[in-house]
């Protein structure tokens, strides 16, 4: 899961850089455009890292948090937890590699509605979000392994 998430994300980022280099957004759907942006901060471009020192600090924090998520994935007791943490780890590693290579994370999916631009993101962000949803689902008491029933998703 981790390798697949990384490969898909890094591949689509490379494709976006090649196809969107002219800076002209391409309409994909009524609420989604393809638009190339390089994010030097964290999510939603917060806490920009414009100089080498702040970039090193941001990379260090990202690597530490990513290592923690990998540790959680390796030590997860339930299959849905492992899948969720693995999706998060794959997206996180991909963004770390992207930032390490270019000093910024490549974003290209531009979400908008009614003339309001919400945010621009990439598939690593999608993997991370899917992982969080899987962890939330795993925490709900509707799953057989949470209700004390034998079997369930743990096997």
The gap from C-alpha 124 to its chain's centroid, in whole angstroms, comes to 3
Structure-token match 């009614």, residue found = 114
Compute the distance between CA of residue 39 and CA of residue 54 in angstroms, rounded to an integer: 14
Which helix (H) or strand (E) covers residue 41, if one does? none
- Give catalytic residues, as residue numbers: 107, 125
Backbone angles phi, psi at 54, to 5 degrees: -70, -30
**Cβ atoms of 85 and 14 closer than 8 Å:** no
Q: Mapping DSSP to helix (H, G, I), strand (E, B) and coil, where does residue 50 land?
A: coil
């Amino acid at each position: 899961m981790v390798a697949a998430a990384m490969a898909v994300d890094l591949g689509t980022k490379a494709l976006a850089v090649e196809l969107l280099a002219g800076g002209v957004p391409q309409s994909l759907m009524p609420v989604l455009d393809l638009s190339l942006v390089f994010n030097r901060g964290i999510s939603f471009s917060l806490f920009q890292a414009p100089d080498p020192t702040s970039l090193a600090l941001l990379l260090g924090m990202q690597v530490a948090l990513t290592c923690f998520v990998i540790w959680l994935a390796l030590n997860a007791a339930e299959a849905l937890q492992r899948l969720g943490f693995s999706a998060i780890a794959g997206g996180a590693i991909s963004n770390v590699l992207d930032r390490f290579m270019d000093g910024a994370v490549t974003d290209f999916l531009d979400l908008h509605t009614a003339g309001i631009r919400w945010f621009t993101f990439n598939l690593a962000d999608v993997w991370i979000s899917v992982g969080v949803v899987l962890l939330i689902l795993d925490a709900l008491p509707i799953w057989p392994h949470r209700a004390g029933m034998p079997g369930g998703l743990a096997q």
